[in-house]
Structure 1
């Protein structure tokens, strides 16, 4: 058993329900890691998530996590966008929280945050803390757009029912302060964390692809920009190849775009899979995102000392630190193609030395144990604040 609880100076054991929508991607990885560590620290943990996303890979991951889930896993229909069915999901979260007598409702992502913070618990909810980790979510919408204004108004309203904000990056915390308005009741910056084994370098395969992309196949990930940059480089006589690993709603349109750009033989599309073996199949990892929070894919690649080309969005500069000057403006096809050629044309010793330096810089700042400890410290602070508020509340006849 880990000593996470002893580190925060409390012997309390909590009953924690993590609520989120899709059991895929970095958000799911964060919840899985947090669940394991909280269970090992003696807490009873359960999950509520969508029933229709993730496929067989999510089923396997949830089955593997089963021994750590004292409160089990509940899968219910959850839509990505606001929908009338959200009321049914809200009732399901309420029923699960009351049945398990949870004292922590921790929402992840926009939808999980809504359900965890708005589920009506009545008198039983007086001692429950409601925590929220955005993972980007609604904060990534472009400021000034109708959707951004709508979602920020909702965040401002829900802040009143939030006992603890656990922002995964300084970037998202600043977006909340700027657009949701008002100071949160209590907040912490808790960076995503990695296990020590993830800092072991990966071996490059024989005859590797020049570039590798791992993640969702969505236009918001900047993939049309990447395809145009690749076409631009190849038009200069560079026979460059790209491996794209992932799935998503824009898979077919991206494949059609690759065909139209004459890239059919330059790109290999493969389904989602573990990232470390994929990293070894490419010389350089490319992350062309238009918006991000604190992406695990960048953390994982950087920790493994994989050379990286990434965009200057969200919390990515927090990962790169003093090396953030190497980041590329988002949506800039020309800048992306130049950055790709520059890193591939570097002397291997220079390219690999910079990648190792970034890996070492991450080791202390993005520890998985530190992440879990900081979350538990946040819970403890929220419980203390709630008890103080209860003691100060006027007594009614």
Structure 2
């Protein structure tokens, strides 16, 4: 098949998902292309995409794309139309809210009847607070775009349930294909000689809850006299705001911010990973850390309970400073053997339920079902 992946930012879990799927599809003999934003991702995304580009038979196409509605959407859609016309894909696979908009709106008369459209939300518009003005607007848009979707490939049962609740039922094909990781990610970590107490890995933006983590560490220091060191790895629009917050909270001397970097070496530099998110779908960073048997403290949002399974009772409410502080203190106080044993048990559960090869094959099967439903050979 000829497959064109359309998404906005080459960042975070969505980008990792597209990379894994793209590489797997190329390895299975398909011709693949990528259309994404040119203004985000930084040197790391540039490097990864440059490495992948020679294998992209349908090309690598990058144009400016904004996260929120913007005049550049018209220019981006025009660029995608040109790519669509020349690449003639059998499948347009749209990822995320902005990718979902462009990938399902783009049209070329005569060519549309030969192409099916797949959509994977990755959270996106479904993570807005229900009942808020933005949520109502985005759910209306999602409802309209559903008519331009041949197959929904939800990455978590959580997002599927949000779709059902706020967009409604659909006669289109629907599949839940959970994010998967590779066998190599279950290899034991080579731990750093002098690790930080805690590590955060992810984007530095409001939805990720790093402000709650900073406040929780301030509470732990003021109320319990415990100075815990934190390594925060990532970048994003809230970076300067979070630096200022760490200074005001009195924990700047024990907090280190570093730019994005490969996850496994970073994980090895922390004893416990903390994910304080306020909204998520099915985050890769938790899958990767769990696979590596990294002790975890996390909030109870999105599809995270789908990963934790029988251990989901340990998850804490989002934006609750006191609850997060208590969970961190409890994890730090656990005997090393118990903490490691729990992490290894979760690793075994992730191995059984989140397989990358299955994710790739099930996605391709979803395309084929959609093509067959449309009578396209």
TM-score, structure 1 as length reference:
0.93
Of 311, 329, 341, the match for 1:323: 311
Of 267, 276, 293, the match for 1:305: 293
2:124 counterpart residue number:
137
Per the TM alignment, residue 84 of structure 1 is displaced from its structure 2 partner at its CA by: 2.1
- Could you give the per-residue CA deviations for residues 72-108 of structure 1, whole angstroms, max 9, x where no partner exists? 1001111111112212211211110110111100100
- Could you give the per-residue CA deviations for residues 273-302 of structure 1, whole angstroms, max 9, x where no partner exists? 001011111110000000000011011000
Contact 1:307 1:352 in 2 (8 A): yes
Tell me the SS of whatever aligns to 2:188. Answer: coil
CA–CA distance in structure 2, aligned partners of residues 161 and 146 of structure 1: 24
2:227 counterpart residue number:
239
1:227 counterpart residue number:
214
Of 111, 131, 141, the match for 1:154: 141
Per the TM alignment, residue 46 of structure 1 is displaced from its structure 2 partner at its CA by: 0.3
- Could you give the per-residue CA deviations for residues 100-127 of structure 1, whole angstroms, max 9, x where no partner exists? 1111001000000111111012111102
CA–CA distance in structure 2, aligned partners of residues 376 and 364 of structure 1: 21
1:295 counterpart residue number:
283
- Could you give the per-residue CA deviations for residues 277-330 of structure 1, whole angstroms, max 9, x where no partner exists? 111111100000000000110110000000000000000000111111111111
Contact 1:165 1:184 in 2 (8 A): no
2:191 counterpart residue number:
204
Contact 1:294 1:314 in 2 (8 A): yes
1:166 counterpart residue number:
153
CA–CA distance in structure 2, aligned partners of residues 293 and 135 of structure 1: 6
Q: Does 1:181 align with 2:174?
A: no
Aligned 1:54-203 pairs, distance under 5 A = 54-203=41-190
Tell me the SS of whatever aligns to 2:143. Answer: helix
Of 234, 237, 243, the match for 1:249: 237
Flag structure 2 segments of 5+ consecutive residues without an equivalent.
none
1:42 counterpart residue number:
29
1:337 counterpart residue number:
325
Flag structure 1 segments of 5+ consecutive residues without an equivalent.
1-13, 391-397
Contact 1:23 1:53 in 2 (8 A): yes
Per the TM alignment, residue 191 of structure 1 is displaced from its structure 2 partner at its CA by: 0.9
Of 365, 370, 382, the match for 2:370: 382
Tell me the SS of whatever aligns to 2:277. Answer: coil
2:274 counterpart residue number:
286
Per the TM alignment, residue 184 of structure 1 is displaced from its structure 2 partner at its CA by: 4.7
1:24 counterpart residue number:
11
Per the TM alignment, residue 144 of structure 1 is displaced from its structure 2 partner at its CA by: 0.3
- Could you give the per-residue CA deviations for residues 229-273 of structure 1, whole angstroms, max 9, x where no partner exists? 001111111121100000110111111011011111010011110
CA–CA distance in structure 2, aligned partners of residues 253 and 94 of structure 1: 38
Aligned residues: 376
Q: Give runs of ≥4 in structure 1 deviating > 6 Å.
A: none
